[in-house]
Amino acid sequence: MVHQYYDLVTDLYEFVWGQSFHSAPRRKGESFRASVRRYEKRIGQALASTPGSPPEPHWLDLGCGVGGPMRTIAREFGARITGINIHPGQIERARRYNRSQKLDHLCDFIECDYAHLLPGENMYDGAYSIEAVCHAPDRRAVYAETYRVLKPGASFVGPDWCLTSLYDGENARHREIKRDIELGFALPGIATFPEVLSALEEAGFELVEHRDLGPAGPSEIPWYLSLSSNFTLAGLLQSPLLREIAPRGLELLEKMRLTPLGYAAIYRILGVAADALVAAGKAGIFTPLFFFHARKRA
């Protein structure tokens, strides 16, 4: 399901989000793109701060998309990064971007399922996954495979999509919002904080840090505002106004055979899902920014 999903949505994701398909904590006065880069550097800093981390580490990017985060992190930290992805089209696109930015000597790829990594143990100095494990039918399998291939003492860092403690399964509106997010983003379900932490510990990891970075303080912008604002170019691309107009334009392009059939329908599904994310964020029942830092036992 995820493979077919990304066949259809990769172009739309890049159009709206750029080459990094994830959210980020955002400061007031900071552009969305700048917040994404700062967040990616924070993830690299968590990996680089691991005791005993070598000066030129080899890290895994689990569910790497088209490689936006890996390029930021490789450039900033000089790390070699291997991206794990099941989608050959995204890998080929990422390779082109890596070559154009002269980072192909640091960034490479393995086409496989992150719940079934290649044979071998104790191979990598660290791993991260940015809003990707939410697509896994069994996150425990992903965490167990990650644990297997990491060296003793290595860190695993990853923000993930989660339901918060405010989610009420008896509330019909909450269930509707959850369903729309799952449908629009091809999710088998959305985990809770305890489910993520339990799965990590079950795989053998010890927890270094975990917290929800979603709630915005007085100097920050709520994560969901980028999906609901019309006041900047980036906001317009992600706004309800565009979600109303764009499908009609896509239908015209489909009739002219300038874009594949189905793009307008997919855009509408993503629009419903984006509206659900905004509603979930405002209600406080969901976060895309549950950040954890775990470590393989030495």
3-state secondary structure of 74: helix
3-state secondary structure of 197: helix
What is the pTM for the complete model shown? Answer: 0.89
pLDDT at 243 (0 to 100): 62
Lowest mean pLDDT, pick from 40-44, 55-59, 126-130, 215-219? 215-219
Tell me the β-bridge partners of 294.
Answer: 156, 207
What's the rounded Cα separation, in Å, for the pair 263 and 261?
6
Residue type, 165: S
- Residues 154/148, Cβ–Cβ less than 8 Å: no
Using the predicted structure, report yes or no on whether residue 275 has a pLDDT greater than 90. Answer: no
Using the predicted structure, report yes or no on whether residue 258 has a pLDDT greater than 50. Answer: yes
What's the rounded Cα separation, in Å, for the pair 73 and 43?
8
- Residues 149/60, Cβ–Cβ less than 8 Å: yes
- Residues 226/32, Cβ–Cβ less than 8 Å: yes
CA distances (Å), origin 178, targets 2, 226, 265, 289: 18, 19, 20, 16
What's the rounded Cα separation, in Å, for the pair 215 and 230?
22
What's the rounded Cα separation, in Å, for the pair 273 and 118?
34
Mean pLDDT of 45-69: 95
Domains, the chain: 2-162+191-218+287-295 (3.40.50.150)
Dump strand ranges (E) for 183-272.
191-192, 206-212, 220-221
pLDDT at 257 (0 to 100): 74
pLDDT at 252 (0 to 100): 76
What's the rounded Cα separation, in Å, for the pair 126 and 147?
10
What does the pLDDT look like over 179-219, one tens digit per residue? 999 998 889 999 999 999 999 999 999 999 999 999 998 99
What does the pLDDT look like over 116-130, one tens digit per residue? 999 999 999 999 999
Residue type, 225: L
